[in-house]
Amino acid sequence: MMFFKVLFLGEGGVGKTSLLKRYVEGIFTEDMKQTVGVDFASCEVACDGWEATLQIWDLAGQMHFRDLVSYYFAGGRAAIAVFDITMLTTMDALEDWISRLFNAEGEIPLVVVGNKGDLRGVLPSAHPFISPEVGRRFAEKYGAPYVEASAKDGSGVPKIFDHITRLLAERYPTPEDSPPLFG
């Protein structure tokens, strides 16, 4: 069985922990506590007969000390880069996260996620939302697929992990192509 470390990236508050919980537990907790340090969850994925275990890492938004970030990034084989579609600053900040990741680990497969899609119907329409078109163009800069999602209503969440699985299956088709766990 192949094993891959997958990283969540993005500013505090964009919904990384909620997306992870929604995916692995199928739940959404309104009062989820902010992650302290690093958490992870493991899951089995499959795609056209290809199977792997993903170990998905989630970090605290305030974790920005250089040494901790390089520990967090080390051996990451794919990343889920998340912004909040209701907050433009979270998309700008993601640029920084991605370039630090690519500097440390090379251009690993990436999926860009615009989270909180459910708020389109809730906040006033005058609110400066990040449109799917702008999200897609942002993701294209990295050759990455873009998914608008909601940890709250669950929309788009399976798609994020389908993309991650497919990208890993393309890069590591057989166990012989499987990378060492770390390094």
The contact set with ligand G3D (CB under 6 A) reads 10, 12-18, 30-32, 34-35, 61, 115-116, 118-119, 150-152
Q: Give every CB contact of residue 35 below 8 A, 6+ residues apart in sequence.
A: 16, 17, 58, 59, 60, 61
Which long-range contacts (C-beta less than 8 Å, at least 24 apart) are formed by 20-26?
20/56, 20/58, 21/151, 22/151, 22/154, 22/157, 23/56, 23/157, 23/158, 23/160, 23/161, 24/56, 26/154
Instruction: Between 86 and 172, name the residue whose CB sits nearer to ligand G3D.
Output: 86
Contacted entry of ligand G3D, Mg ion, none for residue 118, CB cut-off 5 to 8 Å set by kind: ligand G3D
Q: Give every CB contact of residue 97 below 8 A, 6+ residues apart in sequence.
A: 9, 10, 11, 81
Instruction: Between 47 and 63, name the residue whose CB sits nearer to Mg ion.
Output: 63
Instruction: Between 22 and 77, name the residue whose CB sits nearer to ligand G3D.
Output: 22
Instruction: Between 60 and 134, name the residue whose CB sits nearer to Mg ion.
Output: 60
Subset of 14-43 contacting Mg ion (CB under 5 A): 17, 35
Minimum distance from CB of 183 to Mg ion (Å)? 27
Stretch that binds Mg ion, among 13-21, 104-112, 117-125, 126-134 (CB under 5 A): 13-21
Q: How many Cβ atoms are within 10 Å of 107's Cβ, its own excluded?
A: 11
Binding site for Mg ion (CB under 5 A): 17, 35
